[in-house]
Amino acid sequence: MSDVQFHEMSDGRRLAYRHSRGRGPAMVFLPGYMSDMDGGKATAIFARAQTEGRECLLLDYSGCGQSSGEFADGSLSIWRDEVLALIDTCIDGPVVVIGSSMGGWLMLLVAEALGDRLAGLVGIAAAPDFADWGYSDEQKAQLAEGETIYEDNPYGPEPTPTHAKFWQDAKTHLRLKGPIEISAPVRLLHGQRDDDVPWQISMRLAEHLRSDDVQIALVKDGDHRLSREQDIALLQRQVWSLLD
C-alpha cells in the first residue's frame, strides 16, 4: 500500500486518501457507514491495481479513519462533495465507482455528478435509501425530533449511532422513488444471508437504473460484508470486467 496523503478542503477538513497512478479508467472505492479505506475489499482492489499499473483511489470520509472531523457532522451531501473533490484533484479521465453498503448509495450521487466521466458502477450490498426502509416508525420520529438513535453493532463493541443531521440530509437523496438517470454499465453483488441490507434492495436498484447493462450477482451463502476470499475474487472479476 502506498503512503497516505491528505487533501485539505476549503474549510480546513483534511481528507486522507491513497492514490495509485496508472492506466484508467480509475477505480474509486467508497466505504460503508463508519468504515474506512483499510477494509479488506478496498485494500485488495488497491493492491491489484498497483500490481497491474492501474489507477485507483481509496479515501476516508471526514470523521472516519484518518481524516479529520467528527463523524456526527457527516452527511451524504458532505461526503459526496468530498469524494468529488478528491476525484477532481487526483483523476483526469473516466472513473469506475465502487460502493460498499452505504457507499453503494453514495456512489449513485457521485455518479450523477460525474456525468460523462462515469465508466461504470459496482455496488457491494448497496444500500440506497436506507434512511427510508432501514428504520422503524418510532426511530424515524426520534430522528425527526433531532435525537440520535443507537443500534446494536454486530461488528464491534460500541453501538452504531445514527445522528439526526445525517438522517435528515439522507432523506433528501432518496433514489428508489423513480428513475435513476445513470446509463453506464452497473454490476451489483449481494449476499442472500445479508442481515443488514436485504438482497431485494439490489433488485429494486436494478429496476430503477436507466442503464440497460445491469447485472446482479447473488451469493447464496454470502453475508453483508462479502469479505471472504471467494467474495473478494468475485468482486474483482466484476470490477475488472468494466475496466477493459
Question: Within 13 Å, how many C-alpha atoms sit on residue 89's CB side?
Answer: 18
State the Cα–Cα distance between residues 177 and 131, nearest whole angstrom. Answer: 13
Please report the beta strands in the chain, taking only residues with DSSP state E, as ranges in sequence order: 5-8, 14-20, 23-30, 54-59, 95-100, 118-124, 149-151, 160-162, 186-191, 214-219
Q: Which of 7, 163, 208, 224 is catalytic?
A: 224
Q: Which of 101, 173, 202, 231 is catalytic?
A: 101
Type of residue at 143: L
Q: Tell me if residue 177 falls in helix, strand or coil.
A: coil
Catalytic residue list contains 208: no
The string of DSSP codes covering 2-49 is PPPEEEE-TTS-EEEEEEE-SEEEEEEEE--TT--TTSHHHHHHHHHH
Short-list 154, 149, 153, CA closest to 135? 149
By DSSP bridging, strand 54-59 and strand 95-100 are unpaired
State the Cα–Cα distance between residues 102 and 201, nearest whole angstrom. Answer: 12
Catalytic residue list contains 7: no
Determine if residue 200 is left, alpha or beta; phi over 0 gives left, psi from -120 to 50 gives alpha, anything else beta: alpha
Catalytic residue list contains 132: no
Q: Which of 194, 202, 208, 231 is catalytic?
A: 194
Residues tagged active-site: 101, 194, 224
